[in-house]
A and B are shown apart, each in its own frame.
Chain A
Amino acid sequence: MQLHEYQAKEILKNNNVPIPEGQIASTCDDSKKISLSLGGKCVVKAQVHAGGRGKAGGIKLANNEDEAFDFADQMLGSSLKTFQSGETEFPINQVYIEKASDINSEYYLAVTMDFDLKCPVIIFSTEGGMNIEEVAEKNPDKIIKIHVDPLVGPSPYKIRDLSNKFNLEKEISSQLYSIILKLYEIFISFDCTLIEINPLALVSENKLVALDAKITIDDDSLFRHKDLQGLFDETQVNKSELIAQKNDLAYIKLSDGEVGCMVNGAGLAMATMDITMKAGALPSNFLDVGGSASEERIKEAYNIITSDNDVKIILVNLFGGILRCDIAAKGIIEGFKENQKTVPMVVVLRGTNSEEAKEILKNSGMEIYFSDDLPSAANEINKRLGR
């Protein structure tokens, strides 16, 4: 689960990581008021779940409270598309009004998990404010990774070594050490998968502050973070993906597709998409209904796929194990009865109770073509699409 900048900064502030003064606003009037309280000059920042906001016009420097009002007016109610967000447009419902800082240098600091070494890793770079992937490619010398033994925590000597390598002044180095320790504590106690401060800025009086903040929480840990669950902003997620999420379905909408896919198992779902594409048709979604899907869940899955206007044909590929194919078939028919949308469907059913499922579907009155395996299903799809 991704947090907004203002939510992430709230967590930083509560844990004594220095941030510039600022407040969240959802109206222009509030934006103006906050701007005034900060002394007029401020930064107006669109709160969306996308990186690259600056270049896309989602971050503006206001010289006074009236400009703050105007920028807020432009942003609120509009939506933002950045180079990192692809085709998705993120609605701007809130802006964060932050006191403008005099920046001397910009660093990059992140804590994430290194899955190869099976431990957390701290990433620091002197090239802050830039896309870190780009820095890694062009200037790998400017990045240092510090791996952390979970039992030991971030070792002071490693941070000293880092400071020496980049010739950081002692005053800055000690602030950096303290910030790294606090971020690491947050990373562990909030079950984060990523904390990224880009930039970590050196401002007047040689102070380090987190100018931006991105925090992602491990979804699987949310059961023990009831307080964080309320931070989820539904408006930042594709509507179908949101419905899917509420029904425990793993669904991802893909652009330019035409074949709606319903599969059980993530690996088989990816394989089904690959095979569809190899046959010359484009999948319009990834959908894993899960191991032990109920009739209700399958019904929702059918509704989600049929409510996607890009879908011209549906490919159902189910391998019954824990999942019972007959229950899935009933779910599909329930969905069909509910929304009455007739989309032709190519169906591959194998494993637990697949024969019963075929009988159920045959008698449903829906336009269904059965295939024995995936390659023949792919051919059938092309045939039905008139190719």
Chain B
Amino acid sequence: MKSILNCDSNKVLVQGLGRDGSFQTQKCLDFGTEVVAGVHPTRAGDNFNGIPIFGSVNEAVDKTTPDIGLIFVPAPFAADAIIEQVDAGIETVVCITEGIPINDMLKVNNYIQGKKVRLIGPNCPGFLIPRKKLKVGIIPGSIVSDGKVGVVSRSGTLTYEAIVQLTMLGIGQSACVGIGGDPLHGTSFVDVLEMFEQDQNTEAIVMIGEIGGTREQVAAEMIKNSITKPVVASIVGQTAPEGRRMGHAGAVITGKSALASEKIKSLKSAGVHIADSPTEIGLKLKDLIKD
């Protein structure tokens, strides 16, 4: 599958232009993103700041040939929007929507198996490549800067925290990718790490994980075997009580492997540099690239 980091064409289709969707689409445009189409079931023929709005994804794809689909559709309809984009042949689908039922994502995951599509999210901030002036999602454009560090995270605002630290220290980013806080999601840490490893513009990697599931352990195993670039990681949720969902549907401690301490242990043994506190990510990375 294609890496999202090195596509020549990055035309974006936006599905779901409600209050938040419209606000965020404008921010993507302001950053320089090439948005070519909007899709809204009742606003076909209308336009969003000159960008044509279509009644269906199929029609929008026919007329505007987008490369990336961005979804702001409300949770009850979001799974259908993902499938609609996949069926229309869009190869990179980014779903920002939070609160999609687990069963819906079960069906989506089953449906996209073996299909030529990369799904990012749901419940994620999307991705941003400063160098390409490409912002697909809700990561604030004002805090990023162009550079050589790849950032990947499960959390939204915490990603911003890490980006700000890097930018303040004069360390720019090659790309920032939020993979989302849901337990059933598309692109994983492993997928993004792989892209960063292959990407000529990335020299070091920041990874931010959290309690719940075993995604960080799977990533640790992969880093040990196939990542040559330096990785700084931080895991949040060390103070979280067992069995309680900490906002994200996926952030629940169920069993030992979901604990922050277990994840940190795996990452350390894979040679990852751990920032004990998420506030130390920037400095930790700075120390590393100085050497």
Contacts and interface: CB of A to CB of B under 8 A. Distances in A.
B154 A191 contact: no
Given A150-B110, A274-B277, A268 B157 contact: yes
Q: Which of B23, B103, B138, B236 has the most CB of A within 10 A?
A: B103
Nearest to B217: A116
Given A115-B184, A116-B213, A267 B255 contact: no
Interface string A104-116: 0000000001011
Nearest to A118: B109
B278 interface: yes
Contact of B158 (A193, A265, A350): A265
A324 to B, nearest CB: 10
Contact of B236 (A151, A264, A274, A276): A274
Contacts of B101: 191, 218, 220-221, 224
Given A319-B161, A321-B156, A373-B279, A270 B102 contact: no
B249 A220 contact: yes
A218 B138 CA distance: 26
A283 B241 CA distance: 12
B184 A133 contact: no
Interface residues of A, number: 51
Interface string B241-270: 100111111110001000000000000000
Nearest to B168: A373
A267 B213 contact: no
A351 B20 CA distance: 17
Nearest to B278: A271
A271 to B, nearest CB: 4
B251 A273 contact: no
B109 to A, nearest CB: 5
B288 interface: no
Contacts of B255: 133
A343 interface: no
Contacts of A149: 110
A375 B279 contact: yes
A118 B104 CA distance: 12
Interface in A108-162: 113, 115-116, 118-120, 133, 149-151
Interface string A247-282: 000101010000000011111111101111110000
A119 B181 CA distance: 18
Given A267-B157, A270-B236, A374-B279, 8 more contacts: A115-B250, A191-B101, A218-B102, A254-B239, A267-B236, A275-B279, A321-B139, A373-B279
A327 to B, nearest CB: 13
Interface string A70-91: 0000000000000000100000
A322 B246 contact: no
B251 A266 contact: yes
Nearest to A120: B106
Contacts of B142: 351
A188 interface: yes
A131 to B, nearest CB: 12
B191 interface: no
A292 interface: yes
